[in-house]
Amino acid sequence: DVKVTQSSRYLVKRTGEKVFLECVQDMDHENMFWYRQDPGLGLRLIYFSYDVKMKEKGDIPEGYSVSREKKERFSLILESASTNQTSMYLCASSLIAGGGGYTFGSGTRLTVV
């Protein structure tokens, strides 16, 4: 089974800190995604990547950046954390464009105080 691992289950950070959320997949998937999940809003796409060193903005990229130096690892960076970035962050990967669906990590619940 494909496994997507997010490095932290819970994180508490202070306003203004630079925050790194790490995601690793073990099945050689080309595509990786970062979503943010908030009550009543569902999952919203922050950034995605089709290949190493390639990235594209999703629907809500403001305040975030990403890094994909290796195929298996996709990092989400909060340049200067703010309280409105308190949320659940979900990483996902996929092999087949569109039709294969995603494999998700178990999420990181980030609290910015």
Partner 1 sequence: AQTVTQSQPEMSVQEAETVTLSCTYDTSESDYYLFWYKQPPSRQMILVIRQEAYKQQNATENRFSVNFQKAAKSFSLKISDSQLGDAAMYFCAYGGATNKLIFGTGTLLAVQP
Please report, as ranges, the residues that interact with partner 1 according to CB under 8 A: 31, 33, 35, 40-45, 48, 50, 58, 88, 90, 92, 94, 97-99, 101-102, 104, 106-107
Distance, CA of 49 to chain centre: 10
What are residue 91's DSSP bridge partners? 34
First CA to last CA distance, the chain: 37
Residue number with CB closer to partner 1 (51 or 79): 51
Q: How far is the CB of 41 from partner 1 (least distance, A)?
A: 6
Q: How far is the CB of 16 from partner 1 (least distance, A)?
A: 27
Residue recorded with tokens 């790194």: 20
Q: How far is the CB of 82 from partner 1 (least distance, A)?
A: 23
Residue recorded with tokens 């996709």: 74
Q: How far is the CB of 96 from partner 1 (least distance, A)?
A: 8
Residue number with CB closer to partner 1 (14 or 99): 99
Residue number with CB closer to partner 1 (16 or 100): 100
> 63 φ, ψ to 5°?
90, 0
C-alpha 24/C-alpha 61 separation (Å) is 20
Residue number with CB closer to partner 1 (13 or 104): 104
Instruction: Count CB-CB contacts under 10 A for residue 65.
Output: 14
